[in-house]
Amino acid sequence: MKYIIPRFCFQHTDYVLHTSAPSYPSVNFNSDGKKDREPEWDLIRREKVSARPRSSIPSPREICGLEVFALSESPTHSLQLADPQPSARGNDPGPAGWLPQLQHRLLPVKAVCRALLNMQLESPEGILLADAHKRLKWDVLELGDRIYGMESKWDRGEHESWLTDFPHTSGGKGGNGKDFTNKFLGSFKKTGTAAAGNQKVEFISAVHALKLMECVGEGAGATVRMTRSGARFAQLPNPVIDQLSTLAHVPGGKFSDAEIECLLEHVLEFLPGALSAFRSLLAAVKEGAASPEDLDKHLEAVFRDTQGRVTDSALTKLRTAAAFRMTELDLIERQRSRSRITYSVTERGEAFLKRIS
């Protein structure tokens, strides 16, 4: 007969109490008053045991699925969508205005846009930010697990991985849903100091910084809603998210041609910082700065005496983030030969550079 007593270690190991073991044995002492030998008993033994029956009450993790990321054909004309302010044509803010490193990969942005649109279809005026966090922090784990399962079939490099920035429960190091939602959906953070008189509360969000979502208010009453560009982007089919259950081969990219054109049009109209970064990197690669090191030297020289310059270390981080996004959007191609990385401008990148030059 066995009784399970509280677990004291990890990796599915329990300590088991064996009631069939003998009672405390007698202990003999030698002439020095010390124990003659260790008692021979096996009252508690560490062993592997089968999983215990699960609770009949499902956890939020078990309830959630991929419905919130599903492609919906429902009309959006009844939704209250935001209209961001268009950027001034010809305004180049330089590296100081480039999108921060927070906006590293765009596939997680797509997932959050799809989820927010589906939630706003249920609440046309907007969604409480707190409610969106509660829902997404569980659902995105399910999505991450699905992506992890599909990627495990192929040998994909870290740079080409679909999984980057997605949390998952597989592999032991997948992160958690709360970190994901704080980064991409957004959270409020204090900046500055009260002593200096410059303390303020900022909303930090990848989707918001890309002007695909708007946040109104702050704290517990904050609400979020899609912008028109965000809703349009969310409604387009995606070759990864929309084919996770049927995918039999590696898709050509993370985004369809329609999604890429939608985002590039959005960059042209609303994101002067991203446009500046794309123009600068495309021109630099065209002029022969093909490696990351050459790109940094080229950009440092171009922006050395301009109003929008930043420190060299900051420029490297901004260049890295921009190059990742440009690869996802098929503007540049990244090649790796042993330890050397080089970039080349794609046909789409050539056409886009002509358009914005």
- Based on the domain organization, do 30 and 146 belong to the same domain? no
- Based on the domain organization, do 202 and 93 belong to the same domain? yes
Task: State how far the alpha carbon of 132 is from the alpha carbons of 51, 116, 159, 220, in Å.
Answer: 33, 8, 29, 12
Higher per-residue confidence, 248 vs 333 = 333
Give a yes or no: residue 321 inside a domain: no
Considering Cα of 314, then 319, then 322, then 328, what sign does the dihedral take?
negative
pLDDT at site 214: 95
Give a yes or no: residue 71 inside a domain: yes
Give a yes or no: residue 234 inside a domain: yes
Per residue in 172-199, pLDDT (tens digit) is 666 788 999 999 999 998 887 777 778 8
Q: Is this model's pTM higher than 0.75 or not?
A: yes
- Based on the domain organization, do 100 and 220 belong to the same domain? yes
What is the number of alpha carbons within 13 Å of residue 283 lying toward its C-beta?
A: 13
- Based on the domain organization, do 46 and 93 belong to the same domain? no
CA 203, CA 322: separation in Å to the nearest integer? 22
Q: State the DSSP code for 181.
A: I
CA 133, CA 185: separation in Å to the nearest integer? 8
Per residue in 214-255, pLDDT (tens digit) is 999 988 899 999 999 999 999 999 988 988 766 655 567 889
CA 121, CA 102: separation in Å to the nearest integer? 28
- Based on the domain organization, do 161 and 41 belong to the same domain? no
Per residue in 22-57, pLDDT (tens digit) is 444 444 545 555 545 444 434 434 443 333 333 333
Q: Which of 203, 236, 270 is the last residue of a domain?
A: 270
Per residue in 85-117, pLDDT (tens digit) is 887 666 778 888 888 765 568 999 999 999 999
82 forms bridges with which residues in the sheet? Answer: 227
- Based on the domain organization, do 21 and 119 belong to the same domain? no
In terms of average pLDDT, the best of 61-75, 79-93, 243-257, 340-354 is 340-354
- Based on the domain organization, do 26 and 2 belong to the same domain? yes
- Based on the domain organization, do 146 and 211 belong to the same domain? yes
Give a yes or no: residue 137 inside a domain: yes
| Residue 231 belongs to domain spanning | 60-270
Give a yes or no: residue 154 inside a domain: yes
Give 19's pLDDT tier (boundaries 50, 70, 90).
very low
Q: Which of 247, 270, 293 is the last residue of a domain?
A: 270
- Based on the domain organization, do 69 and 185 belong to the same domain? yes
Domain count along the chain: 2
Give a yes or no: residue 282 inside a domain: no
Give a yes or no: residue 323 inside a domain: no
Average pLDDT on 67-80 reads: 90
- Based on the domain organization, do 17 and 142 belong to the same domain? no
Q: Which of 220, 249, 270 is the last residue of a domain?
A: 270
Give 355's pLDDT tier (boundaries 50, 70, 90).
very high
- Based on the domain organization, do 37 and 107 belong to the same domain? no
214 forms bridges with which residues in the sheet? Answer: 225
Cα 335 from chain centroid (whole Å) = 24
- Based on the domain organization, do 216 and 118 belong to the same domain? yes
Give a yes or no: residue 121 inside a domain: yes
